Chain A
């Protein structure tokens, strides 16, 4: 239930934006989840439904999944993350802290661990829509 903590962060951030934008009722929240963190969508959705405050009661939570793209800083190669090549323990470690990917994943072209997580790292609040 690590997702619970991330859902709390999403709700808190969305509330802060709503307050700033003077939105009294939230209609839609769009969240992106990067594949690297392997967030369980159903658990995240359940946590969001449990944590949402009254002003979010009619809000639709759109969850979009984003592929994870790595870019090697040494040879410039880009490639996509695939969970299948990882054992369960490694996949779980990356789920908790995606940056530990640098301990386990190397550039498939040159073997360097010096790569950038260019896209699709973790949970991101993309947008919120509501009425004033």
Chain B
């Protein structure tokens, strides 16, 4: 028997809310939304953890400009503090190396980190998910009680079609969905908002495309001055905290 799964909810029991930031497709700004949400919650005085579960393509460390931080060992692994966040990512262990993982390896690494990470007491744990509805989503749903999903899309119908599948899956599994964020809006079209509501899910925010975001990568101050941060701040105030 694999003993690790038996302690996962014990490790997470002092966390008030666990929010998985997810998307149907890659490239919709999911990691930016997850990172900005985590930083915004810290700035609002909350105790927050950020867990980068996009093992094969992690990017939250780049968004925050994280360098040379290491977890500590103390009855497990204690995540380092980064910008006020308890921050866990596979990059602490794999560095800049490409880490090709198949599904079973993703599950094993995820179970390992959930079983040994000592998050302590948190108001929020924000999880940056890999895109889609494969191993990481299925494992989190299976292993983590109280998980909630926040789904990110763009105005593209291609992105939204995959969101529909994800929403249907989560609804079938009776997993709470906080709502959908539409990122990189180019105009005031309401079609994603209307389609989201047809799914029986809250439309949380429409965030305009902001060319300044690319320049803000690696710089927390610039990042929190972008339209994405403004949108997330309003969302955090009105719908999350």
Q: Which of A52-60, A63-71, A77-85, A95-103 contacts B (4 or more CB under 8 A)?
A: A95-103
Chain B: interface size category: 35 or more
Main secondary structure of the interface of A (DSSP, over half): helix
CB of B189 within 8 Å of the partner chain: no
Residues in B whose Cβ lies below 8 Å from that of A121: 108
Whether the pair A1, B1 counts as a contact (CB closer than 8 A) is no
Smallest distance from the beta carbon of B189 to chain A beta carbons, Å?
42
CB of B105 within 8 Å of the partner chain: yes
Whether the pair B3, A12 counts as a contact (CB closer than 8 A) is yes
Which residue from B4, B99, B100, B109 sits with its C-beta under 8 Å from A9?
B4
Residues in A whose Cβ lies below 8 Å from that of B115: 5-6, 9
CB of B31 within 8 Å of the partner chain: no
Given A99-B101, A99-B108, A102-B105: A6 touches B75 (CB 8 Å cut-off): no
Given A102-B100, A103-B98: A4 touches B4 (CB 8 Å cut-off): no
Whether the pair A13, B1 counts as a contact (CB closer than 8 A) is yes
Interface string of B1-12 (1 = CB under 8 A from A): 111101100110
CB of A22 within 8 Å of the partner chain: no
Interface string of B90-130 (1 = CB under 8 A from A): 10111101111110011011001101101000000000000
Residues in A whose Cβ lies below 8 Å from that of B76: 1-2, 4-5
Residues in B whose Cβ lies below 8 Å from that of A98: 108, 112
Interface string of B69-102 (1 = CB under 8 A from A): 0010111110000000000001011110111111
Smallest distance from the beta carbon of B2 to chain A beta carbons, Å?
7
**Which residue from chain B places its CB closest to the CB of A92 in the assembled complex?**
B93
Chain A: interface size category: 20 to 34
Smallest distance from the beta carbon of A38 to chain B beta carbons, Å?
13
Smallest distance from the beta carbon of B107 to chain A beta carbons, Å?
9
Which residue from B4, B55, B71 sits with its C-beta under 8 Å from A6?
B4
Within 8 A of B (CB), among A3-37: 4-6, 8-10, 12-14, 16-17
Given A96-B77, A123-B4: A6 touches B100 (CB 8 Å cut-off): no
Which positions in B face A, CB cutoff 8 Å?
A: 1-4, 6-7, 10-11, 55, 71, 73-77, 90, 92-95, 97-102, 105-106, 108-109, 112-113, 115-116, 118
Closest 4 CB pairs of A and B: A5-B76, A13-B3, A103-B97, A93-B93
Which positions in A face B, CB cutoff 8 Å?
A: 1-2, 4-6, 8-10, 12-14, 16-17, 93-94, 96-100, 102-104, 113-114, 117, 121-125
Q: What are 15 contact pairs spanning A and B, CB under 8 A?
A: A5-B7, A5-B75, A5-B76, A8-B75, A9-B115, A97-B109, A97-B112, A99-B106, A99-B109, A103-B94, A104-B97, A114-B100, A117-B105, A121-B108, A125-B2
